Structure 1
Amino acid sequence: MPPFLAAVAAIIGPQHLLTQPQDTAAYALDYRRRYQGLPLAVALPGSTAEVAALLQLCQAHQVAVVPQGGNTSTCGAATPDASGRQLVIGLRRLNRLRAIDTANDSITVEAGMTLAQLQQLAADAGRLFPLSLASEGSCQIGGNLSTNAGGLAVLRYGTMRELTLGLEVVLPDGRVLHQLSALRKDTSGLDVKQLFIGAEGQLGLITAATLKLFPLPTAHATAWLGVAGSQAAIALLSALRQAFGDRLTTFEIMSQACQQLLDKYHPGQLPFIQPWAVLVELSDSGDSQALQQQLVDWLATQTLGDGVLAHSEAERQRLWQLREAMSETQKRDGPSIKHDIGVPSSAIPVFLAECEAALTRAFPGVRILAFGHAGDGNLHYNISFTRPDNADLFEDEDSVNAIVYELVYRHQGTLAAEHGVGQLKGHWLQRYQDPLALQLMRSIKQLLDPQGLMNPGKWLSALGDE
């Protein structure tokens, strides 16, 4: 064994160092199978002290580090390159509950805990951790923080940035930032933990977090509604906010093309197919039946298409399963050019109309699948063509992206609303981000990681030198 790897094994134990191709293969390929790397090895530390020792060792030997959680990134943010010289640090062994304080509604967990495990810990304590993602069974808290994940309940609870009270982070030189405070108010200087949320492991390695908990809702009112168009959907969103305030937890939209695709692979499960479908959920304390009746009474005053209300938890879960099946159904149907974009909710209808017109002019026969979290303006806007098997789909990717992103930024939006930037979108970020913001990002990277060893090849690297 080479001296460097022998030193790694001495820190974490030989059984936690993976070097054989059959053992490292799962860490070398991204979720969408677009990026294939070749790691030097995979290290699985079991404590913050071991992570700190690893980063000190890597800096001394000039070995680059790729932090990896559940490996659910859709933009190659956690994939090593093909050089065979980057050490993947997997966090699955850092999965402990450190503290839970129900009086303060806070919980401290390690970064390798899966989101589903954290949700269950909160529920067992009679509390809610509201982040909810389709990948929650495998994605890890460190990855959620590193991409500032949002998911299905941002409308009410916010992204991971809003859900985070404190962090523990190992810096590239091995020093440990201890900021696991559970305070909600602290004006003692700059809030430095915010640097690491959304940084995709390029400034340091998050090892633990203190997060907000909320009262566990006891009442839900969930409805699948049909509307005549995206403008009607956004008008409904505004009216629901006015009527129900922060009890409106979720507002999801799905185009007719998405509904037709779901019906193709899940026949008989959709309640109906309309120009647009909306999944609405209210949550509160008290009794579900009373909340459901409030929603029914209010909907009776609106002009809508078909609608279905969930009268039981089983019916509620069936409606949610339809929404959560969309991404996997599209993957099953074939490749697509995916966009994780965000625009102000009020701009969604005009963006959709303008972008469809522009793409149709440029690519006759284009198929657009638009769905997502309209309550916070985050759309999954995915493109495929009618050509057989979409064989040459990605040859057109840059041209498609240029059209989509130009319109996104015309409407004051973003090209990365919740999945991060990774190695997929760095050059686009450089084109559209404010130049001064880019300069500040480069300066922070240089300050914290002057040797460029933390997750190289991702978007901060793509920004280049000033």
Structure 2
Amino acid sequence: MTDIHQQLLSRLEPVLDATQIITDEARRLAYGTDASFYRMVPQIVLRLDNLSQVQQVIALCAELHVPYTYRAAGTSLSGQAVSDSVLITLSDQWRGHRIEANGLKITLQPGVIGADANRYLAPFGRKIGPDPASINTCKIGGIAANNASGMCCGTAQNSFRTVNGMTLLLTDGTVLDTRDEASTAAFHQSHSHLLAEIEALRDDVQANPALKEKIQHKYRLKNTTGYALNALTDFQDPIDIIEHLMIGSEGTLGFIADITYNTVEEHPHKASALLVFDSIEEASEATAVLARTPVSAVEMMDGRAMRSVADKPGMPEFIARLDLEAAALLVESRAGSEEALLSQCETIMHSMAAFTIIESVPFTSEPTTVNTLWAIRKGMFPAVGAVRETGTTVIIEDVAFPVADLAKGVRDLQALFEQFRYDEAIIFGHALEGNLHFVFTQGFDTQTEIDRYGAFMDAVAELVAVKYQGSLKAEHGTGRNMAPYVELEWGKDAYQLMQRIKRVFDPQGLLNPGVIINDNPKAHITHLKPMPAADPRVDRCIECGFCEPVCPSRTLSLSPRQRIVLYRELQHRRRQGQTAEAKALEEVFNYQGIDTCAATGLCAERCPVGINTGDLIKQLRTEKYQRFTPIARWTANHFATTTRLVKTGLGSAHSAKSLLGEARLTRISDRLHRLSQGRTPQWLPELPMMNRHQLSQASSTQSHGERKIVYMPSCASRTMGQQSDNPDTRSLTEVTLSLIEKAGFDVIIPETVNDLCCGMPYDSKGMQAPARQKISQLEDSLWEASQHGRYPVLIDTSPCAKRSLEHFTKLMHIVEPVGLVLHYLMPHLTLKRKQETIMLHITCSSRRMGLEHEMIELANACASRVVVPEHIQCCGWAGDKGFTTPELNAASLSPLKAQIPDECTRGFSNSRTCEIGLSHHSGIPYESILYLVDEVAH
């Protein structure tokens, strides 16, 4: 760490909590990584909770003249969120929102994920205007700071056009609320000089007709290159100008502490069609015609782009037959009613009568087909990423041509791909705005490759900005990647105007230096990110961060993206023979990367290329815990004995509680857990009683003929009963048998049930041999019990059901509790809904099995109000980590307690172990949803 950063650190330590300051090398590297292909390792990473803390930090940075950079989600592609100085990141305390005027406006803090904003607005039939492809991950701070748009947003609904006001923090520590008269009046008094400079900028533009015309021309296109100079032509009031200059400023002018959007209508009825033409020229001409019809989106895809997804599941067969000259348009129309939508679709297709459509999928609203069509478009970026060579990165650029020049622009881009040997490059984009994305792979491990990329970007800049007078950045922001070309695109006068804007707002030049304004003509090929091979399971990772919102350990240790970053570095050091450096990083990674990973696989659901980081972690655990293999093998071979020992342990724990008292036992347990460095399980007051219900094959019933269900209780259900303070003292096995009997089904209990297990306890620790042994044994037993798949099989805990579905090779219908009730029991039951508010936890295994909506449906059939808490995708219990690594469970469930309504006294889920942690961190008991169903069923 440099001397000046050490001074800053000493000043920060008294004003921030130690957990908010990250200075160790490994985590600085991990937290400093974003989605771009640049690497700059910050000296200090800060995780700030509120505006006051940001003010304190930037005041110290100004005093010591230390540069700093703001970051929200880090999904930016152009290098605008990396720093080699101070990186200020947002904690989860920046998620506030406020809906006004019946949904016509929404105020959002910068840490709100874009998709969450739309979820808040959904009951009002509204949404925010920007719709970037990363909306499930990117945050409002980045959406506004980059003026992000998307497939339907265009230029009319981006942040610049829909902003209604904001609270911003200037570099001198001043807070300005542009919606508040008192705040703006005070600002006029305190910052009259700054306002005068803004007015001078405005007047200089007005006095320069050529410059004014240049600005107006540039914003007829989609354009995020440089600062939003249209703020100086579209507005007169300097406060309005400041507000709109902040949009798209990429964190180089100030900090947006919150923003109010004018929302847009979310039409309830939508239809999509895929139209294929024999050439780019035909598709471009069709786009010009479609622009005059009621379309909401027109996505163009060239022949190579279509070919890149031809082998994906569910794709229309004709895609594989298309030649590279073909081009497709994915068209969407939206309306307020089905009748209006049908009329619009007819109008659109009538406008295409003069064109030859060689293949098509006609307009449809059928969800599966619509999702398939959009999967074509959304699958193109990952399709390139999935086939790239190890060590290369995927680069996606976005440019905009005047729509009249779209076809010629595409042809010229394709010629550049051939000239610079980017044979895998594909083109797709938002045709209505002439906005095209092109994706290609690039290595930066040799100077020859760097030079090739540099020459290619020079040629692209000349083509787009000079030949066609287009935009080098239509929606991804300037960043470091296009900073050297801003003057080329805009010209000297406009660039000098941008330099003046930067000086007005950031006179010390401390705020995100090198982004947008950069004097280094080689900035775009400086600080390039290495992508060394690490493991085939994760080598395809492009470090986009799409995985992060669903990771239960992201606030405790690392996210999947960050785990991969550190593992790549660890493997690189090992290959380079950097023994000491590798050893130091390995010690950090053991806890940060391996021990605190839940390995649930939720990351794979969000990853564009399907990477399950948990698979890597399980393999590393195999290596780490191999000395315990003999113990694991013994427990697998003597599983009935093992479960009896667990039951004995539960009984002993509750005996100790009676003897010592809850408080004393908790203190002793916590101390032993710390002294043993996590090897001793932590006792929790919510630890279940042992299950005294004896379940064996003798529990099978034979009174309902062919209506039979095989019941396989998980080892957790067989050993654990209810927590001691729960009014219903029955075990889950008793409740399940009661409910099945009410529905009039016989129960078949497998032979040697107490010796059966799906292998999850072994698999989660990377012990693959005993895991395979147990899942194979379970499959054989259930195959016999179900009479070779004749009867459905209930596995009463969702993680065990999911593992069985994934690993069984014989055809059986496996269900967990929700599937059992909805698909088998419900037709034979009458449910009397309780007037009660309940909490519902949807386990990560249920999410991965696609059961989220079914769980909510069942809960709503049983209770008058169902609350599914926000920001909890996984509880972090992760097998037994709630006992051994309780901080993971605590971090994952930290948002839970505050979301429980006062009138709510209990919660439900479908995993016995998860329910322990949920009860502990919520303050209310959680139990299987089967208890609720049994309670209301008749």
**TM-score bracket for this pair, using the shorter chain length:** 0.7 to 0.9
| Alignment CA distance shift 1:365-1:359 (3 Å) | closer
Once residues 479 and 458 of structure 2 are traced to their aligned partners in structure 1, the CA distance between those partners, rounded to angstroms, is 18
Q: Is 1:261 the counterpart of 2:264 in the alignment?
A: no
- Residues 128-156 of structure 1 show CA distances to partners (whole Å, capped at 9, x for unaligned) of 22322221122111111111111111237
Percent of pairs identical after alignment? 26
- Residue of structure 2 in register with 1:250 after alignment: 297
| Alignment CA distance shift 1:209-1:94 (3 Å) | farther
- Residue of structure 1 in register with 2:18 after alignment: 14
Once residues 365 and 72 of structure 1 are traced to their aligned partners in structure 2, the CA distance between those partners, rounded to angstroms, is 24
Within 5 Å, which residues of 2 pair with 1:19-58?
Answer: 19-32=23-36, 34-58=37-61
Once residues 336 and 50 of structure 1 are traced to their aligned partners in structure 2, the CA distance between those partners, rounded to angstroms, is 36
Q: Is 1:452 the counterpart of 2:509 in the alignment?
A: yes
Once residues 108 and 317 of structure 2 are traced to their aligned partners in structure 1, the CA distance between those partners, rounded to angstroms, is 40
Selected match of 2:358 from 294, 305, 311? 305
2:54 counterpart SS class = helix
Q: Is 1:223 the counterpart of 2:273 in the alignment?
A: yes
* AA matched with 1:202: T
Within 5 Å, which residues of 2 pair with 1:253-292?
Answer: 253-264=300-311, 266-270=312-316, 272-273=318-319, 274=322, 275-287=326-338, 291-292=341-342
Q: Cα offset for 1:322?
A: 2.1
| Alignment CA distance shift 1:249-1:243 (3 Å) | closer
- Residue of structure 2 in register with 1:115 after alignment: 114
* AA matched with 1:118: A
Would you identify which runs of 4 or more consecutive aligned residues in structure 1 move more than 6 Å? none
Structure with the bigger percentage of strand = 1
Once residues 463 and 488 of structure 2 are traced to their aligned partners in structure 1, the CA distance between those partners, rounded to angstroms, is 14
Contact 1:8 1:43 in 2 (8 A): no
Selected match of 2:384 from 311, 330, 338? 330
- Residue of structure 2 in register with 1:435 after alignment: 492
Once residues 256 and 391 of structure 1 are traced to their aligned partners in structure 2, the CA distance between those partners, rounded to angstroms, is 32
- Residue of structure 2 in register with 1:346 after alignment: 404
* AA matched with 1:210: T
- Residue of structure 2 in register with 1:425 after alignment: 482
* AA matched with 1:27: Y
- Residues 404-439 of structure 1 show CA distances to partners (whole Å, capped at 9, x for unaligned) of 221212111011111112112211223332111111
2:74 counterpart SS class = coil
- Residues 347-386 of structure 1 show CA distances to partners (whole Å, capped at 9, x for unaligned) of 11011223333553x346744311011111111123459x
Within 5 Å, which residues of 2 pair with 1:172-251?
Answer: 172-180=171-179, 188-189=237-238, 190-244=240-294, 248-251=295-298
Q: Cα offset for 1:268?
A: 4.6
TM-score, normalised relative to structure 1: 0.88
Aligned-CA RMSD value: 2.8
- Residue of structure 2 in register with 1:408 after alignment: 464
Indicate the structure (1 or 2) with the bigger Cα radius of gyration.
2
Once residues 98 and 384 of structure 1 are traced to their aligned partners in structure 2, the CA distance between those partners, rounded to angstroms, is 39
- Residue of structure 1 in register with 2:105 after alignment: 106
* AA matched with 1:291: L
* AA matched with 1:332: A
Q: Cα offset for 1:258?
A: 0.8
Once residues 516 and 347 of structure 2 are traced to their aligned partners in structure 1, the CA distance between those partners, rounded to angstroms, is 49
1:155 counterpart SS class = coil
| Alignment CA distance shift 1:271-1:223 (3 Å) | farther
Q: Is 1:395 the counterpart of 2:451 in the alignment?
A: yes
2:137 counterpart SS class = coil
* Consecutive unaligned residues in structure 2, runs of 5 or more: 182-233, 522-938
Contact 1:127 1:214 in 2 (8 A): yes
Q: Is 1:372 the counterpart of 2:375 in the alignment?
A: no
Once residues 160 and 457 of structure 1 are traced to their aligned partners in structure 2, the CA distance between those partners, rounded to angstroms, is 24
Contact 2:288 2:403 in 1 (8 A): no
- Residue of structure 1 in register with 2:150 after alignment: 151
Once residues 27 and 325 of structure 1 are traced to their aligned partners in structure 2, the CA distance between those partners, rounded to angstroms, is 27
- Residue of structure 1 in register with 2:368 after alignment: 314
2:116 counterpart SS class = helix
Contact 1:170 1:176 in 2 (8 A): yes
Q: Is 1:61 the counterpart of 2:118 in the alignment?
A: no
Q: Cα offset for 1:159?
A: 2.1
- Residues 282-323 of structure 1 show CA distances to partners (whole Å, capped at 9, x for unaligned) of 112112x65146415642562322211333223222222221
| Alignment CA distance shift 1:12-1:435 (3 Å) | same
Contact 1:27 1:79 in 2 (8 A): no
2:79 counterpart SS class = coil
Contact 2:291 2:432 in 1 (8 A): no
* AA matched with 1:28: G
| Alignment CA distance shift 1:137-1:391 (3 Å) | farther
* Consecutive unaligned residues in structure 1, runs of 5 or more: none
| Alignment CA distance shift 1:341-1:90 (3 Å) | same
Once residues 12 and 126 of structure 1 are traced to their aligned partners in structure 2, the CA distance between those partners, rounded to angstroms, is 41
Q: Cα offset for 1:463?
A: 7.2
1:458 counterpart SS class = coil
* AA matched with 1:159: N
| Alignment CA distance shift 1:390-1:242 (3 Å) | farther
| Alignment CA distance shift 1:12-1:233 (3 Å) | farther
Q: Cα offset for 1:101?
A: 1.1
2:292 counterpart SS class = helix
Once residues 431 and 480 of structure 2 are traced to their aligned partners in structure 1, the CA distance between those partners, rounded to angstroms, is 26
Structure with the bigger percentage of helix = 2
* AA matched with 1:40: Q
* AA matched with 1:285: G
Once residues 393 and 262 of structure 1 are traced to their aligned partners in structure 2, the CA distance between those partners, rounded to angstroms, is 27
Query: Which region of structure 1 is more displaced relative to structure 2, 438-447 or 233-242?
Result: 233-242
Once residues 137 and 293 of structure 2 are traced to their aligned partners in structure 1, the CA distance between those partners, rounded to angstroms, is 36
Q: Is 1:295 the counterpart of 2:345 in the alignment?
A: yes
The total of aligned residue pairs comes to 449
Contact 1:366 1:384 in 2 (8 A): no
